[in-house]
C-alpha cells in the first residue's frame, strides 16, 4: 500500500503519491475512466490539477460527483499574475470542477522575477488567493515552479508569505548539479522547519526531448518507461521522509508509477542510481 504522511501543517493525511491531473488534459472519457479506476485501486486521496491543464478540471468533476467532494484533497492552480485575472480564474476553476471550494489553491510556476513581482504586489495574484481562502473558496495556499531557480525563488516566496505547500522538480540528475542540490536542500530544510508540505515533480525524467516533442507521451520531457527504471526513480523520491511525489503528466505511465509507489522498497544506492543514469544516458531537464 502507498504510505500516507501529514501534508505539511494542513491536517490532511495524504498518500505520499499524488495524482498529477495534468495527465487528464487531453484524454478521452474512456481514458479518464481508466485513470480513475487506478486512482481508486491505489486509494489515492489527493488530486492536483490546474486551470491551464486543458480539460483536466472538467474530467475530475464527475469523479468528485461520483465519490463525494470529501473523498479527495483537491488542489488546483492559477497561472495568472494580476489580482483580477487570478480572482476570475479561481472562480472559473470552481465552476469547472463543480465544487464550492478547493482544499489548495496554488500560484502556478511562479519563478520569473518580473512575474513574481507582479503576483506578490499590491494588486497581484497573491491577493486573489488570500481573498479566496478568506471567503471559504480555498482552505490552503501553495506555490509551484520549474527551472534551475525554483528552489531559491520558493524560499523567497516563503519569506514573503506563509505558503502551506511548495512544488518543485526533484530527481537524481537534476540534483547532480551542485547549486541546484544545495538550494533544494535549503528549501527542504526551511519547509520542514515551518511545516510546509513538499511536493515533487519530474521523478521519472530521462531528459529533454532530443528533437520535436511527440504527441505521446504527453510529458514535456522524455520520460523513463521501463518498470524497473521507474521503480528506482520512485524509490529515490519516496525513500526520503517528508516528500510527496506527483505522478507524471501522461496517462499511459500512471499504472507503472503507482505500482512502483505501492511496492515501495529501500532507497536506491548511489551505485544503482549512477548505473541507471549511465545506462539510460539520462540528463537533467534544466541545465
Q: Is residue 4 part of a domain?
A: no
Among the residue ranges 18-27, 211-220, 250-259, 270-279, the one predicted with the least confidence is 211-220
Mean pLDDT in residue range 57-75:
97
CATH of the domain at 47: 3.20.20.100
Question: Considering its fold, how many domains does the chain have in total?
Answer: 1
Grid cell, residue 157, equals 516566496
Q: Is residue 275 part of a domain?
A: yes
Q: Is residue 130 part of a domain?
A: yes
Q: Is residue 6 part of a domain?
A: no
Map the chain to HEC letters: CCCEEECCCCCCEEECEEEEHHHHCCCCHHHHHHHHHHHHHCCCCEEECCCCCCCHHHHHHHHHHHHCHHHCEEEEEECCCEHHHHHHHHHHHHHHHCCCCEEEEEECCCCCHHHHHHHCCCCEHHHHHHHHHHCCCEEEEEEECCCCCHHHHHHHHHHHCCCCEEEEECCHHHHCCHHHHHHHHHHHHHHHHHCCEEEEECCCEEECCCCCCCCCCCCCCEECCCHHHHHHHHHHHHCCCCEEEECCCCHHHHHHHHHHHHHCCCCCCHHHHHHHHHHHCCCCCCC
Provide the sign of the torsion angle of the four alpha carbons 19, 42, 274, 279, taken in this order: negative
Residues 189-245: pLDDT tens digits? 999 999 999 999 999 999 999 999 999 999 999 999 999 999 999 999 999 999 999
Q: Give the pLDDT band of residue 80 (cuts 50, 70, 90).
A: very high
Mean pLDDT in residue range 106-115:
98
Residue holding cell 551542485?
Answer: 178
Domain that holds residue 24: 12-280
Cis amide linkage into residue 217, ω under 30° from 0: yes
Q: Is residue 285 part of a domain?
A: no
Q: What pLDDT sits at residue 221?
A: 97
Q: What is the pTM of this model?
A: 0.97
Q: Is residue 143 part of a domain?
A: yes
Q: Give the pLDDT band of residue 249 (cuts 50, 70, 90).
A: very high
Residue holding cell 529501500?
Answer: 266
Q: Is residue 2 part of a domain?
A: no
Q: Is residue 107 part of a domain?
A: yes
Amino acid at each position: 500500500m502507498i504510505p500516507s504522511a501529514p501534508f505539511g501543517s494542513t491536517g490532511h493525511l495524504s498518500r505520499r503519491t499524488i495524482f498529477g491531473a495534468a495527465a487528464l488534459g487531453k484524454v478521452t472519457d474512456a481514458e479518464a475512466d481508466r485513470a480513475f479506476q487506478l486512482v481508486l485501486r491505489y486509494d489515492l486521496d489527493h488530486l492536483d490539477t490546474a486551470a491551464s491543464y486543458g480539460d483536466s478540471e472538467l474530467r475530475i468533476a464527475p469523479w468528485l460527483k461520483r465519490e463525494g467532494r470529501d473523498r479527495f484533497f483537491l488542489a488546483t492552480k492559477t497561472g495568472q499574475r494580476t489580482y483580477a485575472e487570478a480572482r476570475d480564474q479561481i472562480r472559473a476553476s470552481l465552476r469547472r470542477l463543480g465544487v464550492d471550494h478547493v482544499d489548495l489553491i496554488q500560484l502556478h510556476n511562479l519563478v520569473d522575477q518580473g512575474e513574481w513581482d507582479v503576483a506578490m504586489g499590491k494588486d497581484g495574484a497573491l491577493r486573489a488567493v488570500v481573498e479566496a481562502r478568506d471567503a471559504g473558496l480555498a482552505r490552503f495556499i501553495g506555490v509551484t515552479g520549474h527551472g534551475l531557480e525554483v528552489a531559491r525563488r520558493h524560499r523567497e516566496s516563503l519569506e514573503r508569505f506563509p505558503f502551506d505547500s511548495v512544488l518543485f522538480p526533484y530527481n537524481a540528475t537534476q540534483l547532480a548539479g551542485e547549486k541546484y542540490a544545495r538550494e533544494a536542500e535549503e528549501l527542504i530544510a526551511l519547509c520542514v522547519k515551518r511545516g510546509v508540505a513538499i511536493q515533487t515533480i519530474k521523478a521519472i525524467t530521462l531528459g529533454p526531448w532530443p528533437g520535436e516533442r511527440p504527441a505521446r507521451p504527453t510529458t514535456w520531457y522524455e520520460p523513463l518507461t521501463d518498470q524497473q527504471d521507474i521503480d528506482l526513480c520512485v524509490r529515490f523520491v519516496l525513500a526520503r521522509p517528508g516528500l510527496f511525489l506527483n505522478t507524471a503528466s501522461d496517462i499511459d505511465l500512471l499504472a507503472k508509477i503507482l505500482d512502483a509507489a505501492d511496492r515501495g522498497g529501500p532507497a536506491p544506492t548511489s551505485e544503482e542510481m549512477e548505473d541507471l543514469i549511465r545506462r539510460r544516458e539520462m540528463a537533467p531537464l534544466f541545465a
